[in-house]
Amino acid sequence: MGLKAVTVARRVFGQRLLSAYLIGSLAHEGFVAAVSDVDIALILAGADPGDAARVHRVSRLVLEQDRSVLASRLSIFWSTAEGLRSRRPDGRLPAIDWLDLIDSGKHVYGTALPVDTPRPHAGQLVEDTAEFAVSKWRHDPAWDRHLLDAAGLVREGRRAASKAALFPVRFLYTLTTGLAGGTHDAVAWYSTQARVTSRDLVAAAYDWRIRGFSDTSTAVRLLQEQLVPLYREFESSYRQQLLEQGLTDLADELTATIARLDRPVLTQSDS
């Protein structure tokens, strides 16, 4: 699917498409068809106001050609080569995906990026990740109720439940190590940490991601007991770094956002 999307992008962008990469689980050899997104990164020559519309067209054409679930999970990141060189990626390339592109991207088309292409610095990773999390939840009035409904997450399936648990783990891993890594890297790192809140949930969520549920009642219990503490761990760690960078407003917004989880966790009978 990633290569199919690159082929379509070549038609849409023509000579402005300088190179294309597979990123995310496609690059880390951790792709699981039942749960993974299909992430690609496009490097363009020069910015154009119509690029967002062109990226949307690529996604639409891929869906028209392939009605599979994987096609619906295509996520396209992009920047100009100039933006990357100047440490100001334009288009859509959050810092963690920029880092993943540079460190682990699988080059599949065009001229590869120079080996000295800049990586985001630690401060950019912290600020961008916190802003991403806050913006993801800011306009979704139901996200907290969704996370608190453990039985509902399990009914949605392994993709919803594992993503809910592993989302903060990936960001905690990057905060501590400065690496993007794959899901398996983040889970392995978390399992070795002495002072963590949700070790059993994280290990189980990775197993759900790979194999599916073996016991749904245990899955519900782990989500009920350990998911909110995991998000609080994420908030506490990022808040400390944001304050050290002088980003008090963003730190407070992150704290207020995670505080929306401070309500009773739904039980199976509630949901």
Band of the pLDDT at 266, cuts 50, 70, 90? low
For residues 161 and 154, the answer to whether their CB atoms sit within 8 Å is yes
Whole-structure pTM value: 0.91
Q: What distance in Å separates the CA atoms of residue 136 and residue 148, rounded to the nearest whole number? A: 17
- Which DSSP letter does residue 265 get? P
- Helix residue ranges per DSSP H, the chain: 2-13, 25-28, 51-65, 69-72, 81-85, 95-104, 122-138, 143-148, 150-156, 158-177, 183-191, 199-211, 216-244, 248-258
Could you tell me which residues come within 8 angstroms of residue 147 by beta carbon, excluding any fewer than 6 positions away?
153, 164, 227, 228, 231, 261
| 157-184 residue pLDDT tens | 999 999 999 999 999 999 999 999 899 9
pLDDT (0 to 100) of residue 265 = 60
Residue 263 in this model has a pLDDT that exceeds 80: no
| 119-155 residue pLDDT tens | 999 999 999 999 999 998 888 889 999 999 999 999 9
